[in-house]
Amino acid sequence: MTVALDVEPEHTYPWVDAASPTHPSLIDTRHVTGELFGFVNIPMAVWIDETGTIVRNAESATIERSPLRDMDIPDGLDERLTRMLTEVKAIPDDAAAYRAAIVDWARHGAESPYALTPDEVIERSRPRGDDEARAAACFELGQHLRDHGDADAAVAWWRQAHQLDPGNWTYKRQAWTLVTTPQDATENDLMQGPNDVYDGNWLDDVVASGGGENYAVRPKL
């Protein structure tokens, strides 16, 4: 099943309609699955067995190598776009190994070496202290206010969420794209550049966190 962590359901519709999924395709407007499972970026995934037990905790979940990784960055591109593509190319690529692990689990279930015990799942789940928990509360307050028509009031809470949990990229990417996407755009802005509303932006925050190589929660396979 797929879950879109999007506060605006209609932003997901073009993607969902293009995919025509035959699996359950769902939308999480409150980012509650992030809080419950530990999704802090996308794409990420958890595996759940037939008894409703998590056998693999939240980790980066790509299954195809992005063509961006093998693309030469053209000369003459905008300097910021060039730096952004450089960081994107540096994001670790575990797609082939993760895909193989999924197939192995699908075939062998609990016998798969990739299916973890409950203790391992808990131990590998993301550490959460007061700051991360408080960030979740702040994000939810912002989402609630936005959902009730007060997008301006949401900003202060989302800014707090970003400060408290800078490693949560869904909180940041969600907020940035809503202020950097032009009103007449048909897709959300993926560049998420500097803006007047939030302190951070995609490129500068990625660089500050150690670069593309630290951007994803790599699967421990």
Partner 1 sequence: MIITDEQLDHVDAATFASATGWDPKPEGLCQGEVCVPAPGLRRDDGTVDIEAAAARLGMPVVRDDEHGLTAVGPGTITGRTLTTAAAPDPELIDRVGSSFRLSSLHGRKVLLHAWASY
Site for partner 1 in 60-79 (CB under 8 A): 61
Backbone φ, ψ for residue 2 (5° rounding)? -115, 145
As a whole number of angstroms, the distance between CA 170 and CA 215 comes to 12
> Binding to partner 1 by residue 141, rule CB under 8 A?
yes
Single residue of 74, 127, 182, 210 touching partner 1 by CB under 8 A: 127
> Binding to partner 1 by residue 50, rule CB under 8 A?
yes
**Shortest Å distance, C-beta 125 to partner 1:** 4
The number of residues that bind partner 1 (CB under 8 A) is 82
Closest CA to 174 of 40, 25, 63: 40
**Tokens at 130, concatenated:** 């007061």
> Binding to partner 1 by residue 150, rule CB under 8 A?
yes
Nearer to partner 1, 67 or 149 (CB): 149
Distances (CA, A) of 76 to 79, 90, 181: 8, 20, 24
As a whole number of angstroms, the distance between CA 104 and CA 47 comes to 12
**Shortest Å distance, C-beta 86 to partner 1:** 20
Q: Which stretch binds partner 1 (CB under 8 A): 67-75, 81-89, 186-194, 208-216?
A: 186-194
As a whole number of angstroms, the distance between CA 178 and CA 192 comes to 9
**Tokens at 212, concatenated:** 């593309």
**Shortest Å distance, C-beta 76 to partner 1:** 27
> Binding to partner 1 by residue 215, rule CB under 8 A?
no
> Binding to partner 1 by residue 103, rule CB under 8 A?
no
**Shortest Å distance, C-beta 150 to partner 1:** 8
